[in-house]
Structure 1
Amino acid sequence: MQKRFPFLSLSAYGSGWSANRRIAIVITAVAVLLAIAAIVAVLTGGKNSQQAPDAAASALPTGSPSFSDAAPSPSSGAGSVPAPPQVAEPVAYAKAAAQMLWSYDTRTTTRDQQLAGMRAWMTTKTKYTDWASVSGQVPDPVLWSRMTDQDQYATAAVSEGHYPSAFKEALADDPSAITEAYVFIVTVNGKQTLSWQKGGGGGAEERAVTLAVQCRPNHDCTLSAIAPNVTQ
């Protein structure tokens, strides 16, 4: 029977966390610019359940290596990971970041290169960054090696991006709050297509992710964090 291997999946990050912990991370990231009550109301409005595991990931045996937030090697380069665009508009940057997060190529890129390339998209303002939420999308070294053995790669297409209603409502309640950190919350939708050359396997899946993006005046945007799904 043909083996299938896991890929960078936004639905996998934080799957073992409690709802309260995931909500707390997002609140911490955006507390300086959002009304706390508005964010808590939306993020606790649903069941905060994760999507079902990807079909490729579910084929792994129990006890498969978990995802890792290891720091990238400074000298590793970025492989096939694209450089962040020089964009000052939050939605445009978030769409580019989502496409980057949903794409990878183990044929040309090592795990360290993948992490280093992703790290380049992050804000350098440590107060507003959650690197673990982003690096957690990358499988651990053993799993990445298995993916490499199968020449696994993924491409992505973004269909749209928008500000969630909670963010828009919070800004309407306090327009000046954004000027403290200039962190914008953007939900992006699209599709990820997975392929592996050995065995000719592949598949596609719809994707949705909510990103925290910092866009300060007279600066290009940067990525702050991946947040739990808020798709309203």
Structure 2
Amino acid sequence: MPSSPQPFNPGGQSLMVRRLLVGLVALVAVALVAGLIARHTGGGHRNPAAHPATSTAFPGPTLSSGSTAGPSTAPSEPTGAATTSPVAPPPHTSDPIAYATAFAQALWTYDTRTATQSQQLAGLRAWLTSESAYADPDAVASQVPDPTLWDRMRDNGQHATARVAEGHLPTAFNSAVAADPAKLTVAYVYAVTVTGSQTITWHGGGRGAESRAITLAVQCRPGHDCALASIAPTVYP
């Protein structure tokens, strides 16, 4: 079977965004987010006061702790990506779980026979938030095979389809927000764990399936579509 198509390299992520993710789940988000803001003064952040929370118990979108896969909203045109992008465009949705499951579906689906590595990477990066302080392009790149490996996979005709089982907010994240809802209102970044499976096919009738799980940082400011911020170094329950 060819080499694993989705290598994960936490060391390639932005340390700043990785701290944000870990902080949100470990109940220390206030200090970490404040540090991000301080390091990006004038970075174009919206004032959280201009975006009132939809719930006094849980700022931002109204959510349950779990959700079945797949957004019910229409896809948008990917910003900055070619119209022939091999990657599905991000959906118009304010639900971080719907957005995360849609991104996981796009991430775990590829076809090296028709797409180049740079096209695949550009298509996935089109999902990133436009707020540079929170966008972590290195985390996305760490999920895509490098050009050399991609070419080897193409020689084998390797392609993959995905099935997303479910997405949910990790228990620790829910507990952190319930304990102090104001923690969420600086960056409106939600941790979402998505599980599913990936079926990989290659020349000669080769075929294999693997389980997948990933925790994503999704930014969903009230009144705005969600966008990807980063990918956590750990899959949270």
TM-score, with normalisation over the residues of structure 2? 0.71
Per-residue CA deviation, residues 57-110 of structure 1 (Å, 9 max, x unaligned), is: xxxxxxxxxxxxxxxxx6766532101111110101000011111111111111
* Structure 2 residue 22 is the aligned partner of structure 1 residue 14: no
Q: 1:218: which partner in 2?
A: 223
For 1:89 and 1:34, locate their aligned partners in 2 and report how far apart those are by CA, in whole Å: 22
C-alpha displacement of 1:30? 6.6
- Corresponding letter in the other structure for 1:129: A
Q: Which amino acid aligns with 1:114?
A: Q
Alpha-carbon distance in structure 1 between the residues aligned to 2:95 and 2:81: 30
Structure 1 residue ranges, 4+ long, deviating more than 4 angstroms after superposition: 21-25, 29-34, 74-78
Residue correspondences, number: 190
Aligned equivalents of 2:223, 2:126: Cα separation in 1: 19
Structure 1 residues 81 and 37, CA, compared in 2 at 3 Å: closer, same or farther? closer
Q: Which amino acid aligns with 2:159?
A: Y
Out of 12, 15, 19, the residue aligned to residue 27 of structure 1 is 19
Contact 1:30 1:183 in 2 (8 A): no
Secondary structure at the counterpart of residue 194 of structure 1: strand
Q: How do 1:1-232 residues align onto structure 2 when only pairs under 5 Å count?
A: 4-9=1-6, 12-14=7-9, 17=11, 25-29=17-21, 31=23, 35-36=27-28, 79-196=85-202, 198-232=203-237
Q: Which runs of 5+ in 2 are unaligned?
A: 33-79
Counterpart Cα distance in 2 of 1:208 and 1:115? 20
Aligned-pair RMSD on alpha carbons? 2.9
Q: What is the percentage of aligned positions where both structures have the same residue?
A: 49
- State the 1:35 CA deviation: 3.1
Q: What amino acid sits opposite 1:36 in the alignment?
A: V
Report the 3-state secondary structure (helix = DSSP H, G, I; strand = E; otherwise coil) of the residue aligned with 1:218.
coil
The structure-2 alpha-carbon separation of the partners of 1:22 and 1:109, relative to structure 1 and needing over 3 Å to count, comes to closer
Any conservation in 2 of the 1:29–1:128 contact (CA below 8 Å)? no
Q: Aligned with 1:79: secondary structure?
A: coil
- 1:14-33 Cα distance to aligned partner (Å, 9 max, x none): 26x5xxx9987522357589
1:6 Cα deviation after fit: 2.4
Unaligned 5+ residue runs, structure 1? 41-73
Contact 2:20–2:29 at 8 Å: present in 1 too? Answer: no
In structure 2, relative to structure 1, the CA distance for the partners of 1:37 and 1:177 (3 Å cut) is closer
